[in-house]
Amino acid sequence: MDISYLQKDDKPGEECGVFGAYNFDGEDVSSTIYYGLLALQHRGQESCGIAVSDTKGPKGKVSSYKDMGLVNEVFEAHTLDGLKGDIGVGHVRYSTAGSSVRENAQPLVLNYVKGTLGLAHNGNLINALELREKLAYTGAIFQTTIDSEVIAYCIARERLNSKSVEEAVGRAMKQILGAYSLVIMSPRKLIGARDPYGFRPLCIGKRDNTYILASESCALDTIGAEFVRDVLPGEIVTISPEYGILSDTSNCLPEDKVGRCVFEYIYFARPDSIIDGVSVYHSRIMAGKYLAMDDPVDADLVVGVPESGNCAAMGYSMQSGIPYGIAFMKNAYVGRTFIKPKQKNRESSVQVKLNPIREAVEGKRIIMIDDSIVRGTTSDRIVRMLREAGAKEVHMRVSSPPFLWPCYFGTDVPARDQLIAYNRSVEEIRRIIGSDSLGYLRQERLSQIVNRKGICTGCFTGKYPLDPPKEDIRGEFDK
């Protein structure tokens, strides 16, 4: 049994983060990848890894290191010093398919007849089991339980009959279905690829003579790189000193068919990132403003549940004219996942992370903004904490619609029967969490907060950009 969910918040699970770098001057890139991964740590705190190669050294020789834990825990100065190479890929992981063990950490390094591939993947395939079985019957021996290895095998197989690794990636993309942003290291090329629906973000950056691929633009800012552009949904970009950046858009879809994950803008991505030309910060501000327009309430103070609720709370305050304030102190040394106190202990796992500021809320009517309610297992405790700190009223507003459907494309939304909104009215949910009122962002506002229609809203509407599997196979690899 996979019990990792017991240590997770009542939040949708984060995505993974991918990062790649190629220094055309032959300088080592391991430290650049390290700092890039630090900036993407919010996308996964379970495991991390870096794989590098020297393009002028023996072809196919790869140095790699990966382990369970945070980036600054796994990598020390001497570890990075041992990773010599001018091209490399890195990964931070949150498991949506495959157990939480070191073997499933990425990047994956695959040795095959044409050389070596290093691969980092963000997303989930919906036909991974089918492909895995097909590959196994043709002799593939799998070392992990993650669908990323299925992608690596598909690319390696296609490479045998392709003129280049990027052609093999393009052929593999015609077989794999679902969400994937890939960063791939071959002996002489750095390749980025995004699924045709664009579920997961991926962008290109440049610092001096180093080219970067990263899940979010905030990672480029961290290392002092300039943002070049986003990788288009369905696009393959090949980076090499010989050609610079080559683009293949043969797998791209029309914009109205694209399905970017709207929850990247609501919760996953850092507010200082820009994804496909849209500011994450602005999207969250707009979500708060729409909440104030659609679900106003008379109160004394608007507060956010840190950190992801803060921007929406500011937007609510701007629109309503009700002052914005800070109601919670967050423990900066507790990540999005942690070892929960044992049941026999009196410590609340919520209060380990958050503690209300009595002076800020006592005697006041509070509007509390959070980005989502999944199972509802923490919202009631946070409401209770505010009441115990002296709040007269607690009105909860949520900057996303109710979760009604699972996600098959990389967001760890549980099965429907575990969702608090499933078969319950807003009033019933309000009574469960104990707030004085409750309001959600309206579904029609989702396209407005990102100012585009090419988004996936499946976990709210049940309408996905491509047909989901007939059975909920998430977690099958853990068996």
- Rounded mean pLDDT of 86-98? 82
pTM: 0.91
Residue of 16, 203, 252, 407 with catalytic role: 16
- Nearest alpha carbon to residue 409 among 453, 467, 337, 370: 467
Burial zone of 290 (CB within 10 Å; 0-12 exposed, 13-18 middle, 19+ buried)? buried
**E strand intervals along 54-189:** 62-68, 87-93, 108-112, 115-122, 181-185
pLDDT, tens digit, 9 for 90 and up, residues 29-40: 999 999 999 999
281 and 351 belong to one structural domain? yes
198 and 287 belong to one structural domain? no
Two tokens, residue 145: 């339980």
Q: How confident is the model at residue 416 (pLDDT cuts 50, 70, 90)?
A: confident
For residue 18, pLDDT over 60 is answered with yes
The amino acid sitting at 27 is E
pLDDT, tens digit, 9 for 90 and up, residues 189-202: 999 999 999 999 99
pLDDT of residue 401: 97
User: What is the residue-averaged pLDDT of the chain?
Assistant: 89
62 and 118 belong to one structural domain? yes
239 and 285 belong to one structural domain? no
pLDDT of residue 334: 66
- What is the C-alpha separation between 317 and 204, in angstroms, rounded? 35
Q: How confident is the model at residue 346 (pLDDT cuts 50, 70, 90)?
A: very low
pLDDT of residue 370: 96
Residue 473 lies in a domain: no
Residue 259 lies in a domain: no
303 and 243 belong to one structural domain? no
Last residue of a domain, one of 253, 284, 318: 253
pLDDT of residue 100: 62
162 and 18 belong to one structural domain? yes
pLDDT, tens digit, 9 for 90 and up, residues 363-391: 999 999 999 999 888 899 999 999 999 99
pLDDT, tens digit, 9 for 90 and up, residues 266-323: 999 999 999 999 999 999 999 999 999 999 999 999 999 998 899 999 999 999 999 9
pLDDT of residue 1: 23
364 and 428 belong to one structural domain? yes
Question: Among 8-17, 197-206, 414-423, where is mean pLDDT lowest?
Answer: 8-17
Handedness of CA 362, 366, 371, 376 (dihedral sign): positive
Inter-residue contact 89 to 184 (CB < 8 Å):
yes
pLDDT, tens digit, 9 for 90 and up, residues 111-142: 888 889 999 999 999 998 899 888 888 877 78
Q: How confident is the model at residue 227 (pLDDT cuts 50, 70, 90)?
A: very high
pLDDT of residue 2: 29
73 and 176 belong to one structural domain? yes
- What is the C-alpha separation between 313 and 301, in angstroms, rounded? 10
For residue 341, pLDDT over 80 is answered with no
pLDDT, tens digit, 9 for 90 and up, residues 437-457: 999 999 999 999 999 889 999
Residue 268 lies in a domain: no
Q: Is 16 designated active site?
A: yes
pLDDT, tens digit, 9 for 90 and up, residues 67-91: 999 999 999 999 999 999 999 999 9
How many domains does the chain contain in total?
2
What is the domain extent for residue 294? 274-465
278 and 146 belong to one structural domain? no
pLDDT, tens digit, 9 for 90 and up, residues 387-406: 999 999 999 999 999 999 99
447 and 343 belong to one structural domain? yes
Inter-residue contact 89 to 469 (CB < 8 Å):
no
